[in-house]
């Protein structure tokens, strides 16, 4: 028997239900793992609310760390007691069976909570900064929600490459964290028109790329913050999904491009997933990226964690403790 957080209908945080589940023996290609830490992600909220369609009932959760308890038939590359991590569905549980192919061995030197806080988010940053727009030294880039989970990792990563990072945050209290993440300039976009500030900071030129996870409330100004031939990477809907953007508008605003990626397409290619996780581990082990776990919640109180992230009350990553 194990405990899970499941939803039977979409809606607010109140639909998250703490339930018992029987756990069968792992089948062909599977292992049973006991979670030690589970990452919270905005995607969990989109699935819970119905913005991203899923089959119901569903155990939510998108990244976690655990210890292998039992090996199913045909699994050769893992052993009991081994620490593993993953980015994938069904993580809101104390224990679970999972395809061994989904798991990544966790190197010594990376704590369980750190890994749970960074796998989905860090691999997303890898995709955003290599596949969607290849950030290079000398670029000036704009990162929204720079004190959030993905934002904190992205700002540090871009800074380590030699890019100049302009970050946005929703409160003055988050400015210090964004600065410590490597932002050279931080704009409180609740107070200021950020596109004007970006123009002023770049001598009128604009930035090469905007990484916009906020969506509806920011995308228009994000487009107005770009230099000619700049790229808007829209990868989230924290304030709501954006409506369509007309190609002619992109021409008029300076021959712009728009990218709308999802990590699922990236990590479905095993070589990309391997490269993303090994680059992430390497930067974390070298101390070039520090993973900020801003708050933890018991897994049984996942609804409180959803309420906090949706009300912009979290900083860095949030971890659920089984
Ligand atoms: N496309 C992909 O494959 C992919 C993968 C992973 C994550 N993502 C996206 O990346 C973003 C960040 O994810 P995360 O889990 O690390 O979350 P997060 O950044 O820790 O939290 C979301 C942040 O968005 C900002 N925000 C602005 N307006 C908001 C609003 N109306 N409601 C709620 N938040 C608002 C808040 O920061 P301020 O208060 O500072 O504004 C908030 O802290 C999400 O949009 C997520 O969907 C996309």
Calpha distance 119→100 (Å, rounded): 16
Q: Distance from the CA of 181 to the center of ligand 1, in angstroms?
A: 16
For residues 208-224, one letter each, b for 16 or more C-beta atoms within 10 angstroms of the residue's C-beta and e for the rest, the string is: bbbbbbbbeebbebbbb
- Element containing residue 35 per DSSP (H, E): strand 30-39
Label residue 194 by pLDDT band (50, 70, 90).
very high
Q: Distance from the CA of 17 to the center of ligand 1, in angstroms?
A: 23
Nearest CA to ligand 1 atom 38: 170
- Residue 129 pLDDT: 98
> Is residue 288 exposed (0-12), middle (13-18) or buried (19+ Cβ within 10 Å)?
middle
Nearest CA to ligand 1 atom 36: 312
The predicted-structure confidence for 126-139, as pLDDT tens digits, reads as follows 999 999 999 999 99
Which stretches of the chain are DSSP H helices? 42-49, 112-116, 119-127, 149-161, 175-180, 194-201, 219-224, 247-252, 263-267, 270-285, 302-310
Q: Distance from the CA of 148 to the center of ligand 1, in angstroms?
A: 7
CB atoms within 10 A of CB 282: 12
- Residue 159 pLDDT: 97
> In the chain, what are the domains?
2-117+292-321 (3.90.180.10), 121-263 (3.40.50.720)
Residue 136 structure tokens: 């290079």
CB atoms within 10 A of CB 159: 18
- Residue 248 pLDDT: 98
Phi/psi of residue 71, nearest 5 degrees = -105, 130
Q: Distance from the CA of 151 to the center of ligand 1, in angstroms?
A: 8
Phi/psi of residue 245, nearest 5 degrees = -115, 125
- Residue 106 pLDDT: 98
Q: Distance from the CA of 217 to the center of ligand 1, in angstroms?
A: 12
Cβ(9)–Cβ(15) below 8 Å: yes
Rounded to an integer, the average pLDDT of 279-287 is: 98
Q: Distance from the CA of 128 to the center of ligand 1, in angstroms?
A: 14
- Element containing residue 59 per DSSP (H, E): strand 58-59
Label residue 102 by pLDDT band (50, 70, 90).
very high
- Residue 260 pLDDT: 98
State which ligand 1 atom lies nearest to the alpha carbon of 146: 40
Pocket around ligand 1 at a 6 A CB cut-off:
41-43, 120-121, 124, 145, 147-151, 169-170, 174, 213-214, 217, 235-239, 261-263, 309-310, 312, 314
């Amino acid at each position: 028997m194990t405990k899970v957080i499941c939803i039977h209908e979409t809606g607010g945080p109140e639909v998250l239900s703490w339930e018992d589940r029987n756990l069968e023996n792992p089948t062909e290609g599977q292992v049973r793992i006991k979670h030690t830490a589970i990452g919270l992600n905005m995607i969990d909220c989109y699935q819970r609310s119905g913005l991203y369609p899923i089959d119901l009932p569903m155990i939510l959760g998108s990244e976690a760390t655990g210890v292998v308890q039992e090996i199913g038939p045909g699994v050769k590359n893992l052993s009991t007691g081994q620490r593993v991590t993953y980015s994938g569905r069904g993580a809101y549980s104390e224990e679970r069976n999972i395809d061994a192919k989904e798991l990544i061995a966790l190197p010594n030197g990376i704590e369980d909570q750190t890994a749970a806080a960074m796998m989905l988010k860090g691999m997303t940053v890898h995709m955003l900064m290599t596949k969607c727009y290849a950030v290079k030294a000398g670029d000036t880039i704009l990162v929204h929600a720079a004190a959030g989970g993905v934002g904190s990792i992205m700002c540090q990563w871009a800074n380590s490459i030699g890019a100049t990072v302009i970050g946005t945050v929703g409160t003055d209290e988050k400015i210090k964290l964004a600065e410590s993440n490597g932002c050279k300039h931080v704009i409180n976009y609740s107070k200021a028109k950020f596109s004007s500030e970006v123009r002023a900071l770049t001598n009128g030129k604009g930035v090469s790329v905007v990484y916009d996870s906020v969506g509806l409330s920011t995308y228009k100004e994000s487009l107005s913050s770009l230099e000619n031939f700049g790229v808007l990477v829209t990868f989230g809907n924290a304030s709501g999904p954006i409506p369509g953007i007309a190609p002619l508008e992109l021409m008029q605003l300076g021959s712009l491009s728009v990218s709308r990626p999802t990590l699922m397409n990236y990590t479905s290619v095993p070589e990309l997933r391997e490269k993303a996780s090994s680059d992430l581990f390497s930067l974390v082990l070298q101390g070039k990226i520090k993973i900020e776990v801003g708050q933890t919640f018991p897994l049984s109180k996942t609804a409180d964690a959803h309420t906090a992230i949706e009300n912009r009350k979290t900083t860095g990553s949030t971890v659920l403790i089984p």
